[in-house]
A = this chain, B = another copy of it.
Amino acid sequence: MSYELYYWPTIQGRGEFVRLALEEAGAEYVDVARGPNGTRAMMRLMRDAEKPPFAPPFLRSGDLLIGQTSAILLYLGAQHGLAPKDPAGGLWTHQIQLTIADLVNEAHDTHHPVGVGLYYEDQKDEALRRAKEFRQSRIPKFLQWFEEILDRNPSGSDHLVGADLTYADLSLFQVVEGLTYAFPYATAAALRKTPLVAALHRAVAERPRIRAYLESERRIPFNQEGIFRQYSELDG
Binding site for B on A (CB under 8 A): 50-54, 63-64, 66-68, 70-71, 74-75, 88, 91-92, 94-95, 98-99, 102, 105, 109, 113-118, 123, 126, 129-130, 133-134, 137, 142, 145, 148-149, 152, 154
Please indicate the chain B residues that have their CB under 8 angstroms from the CB of A92 in the complex: 51
* CB pair A94 B114 closer than 8 Å: no
* CB pair B91 A71 closer than 8 Å: yes
How far, in whole Å, are A51 and B54 apart by their CA atoms in the complex?
A: 31
Query: A95 touches which one: B68, B98, B145 (CB < 8 A)?
Result: B68
How far, in whole Å, are A93 and B96 apart by their CA atoms in the complex?
A: 20
Query: A71 touches which one: B98, B118, B126, B134 (CB < 8 A)?
Result: B98
How far, in whole Å, are A63 and B89 apart by their CA atoms in the complex?
A: 12
* CB pair B113 A114 closer than 8 Å: yes
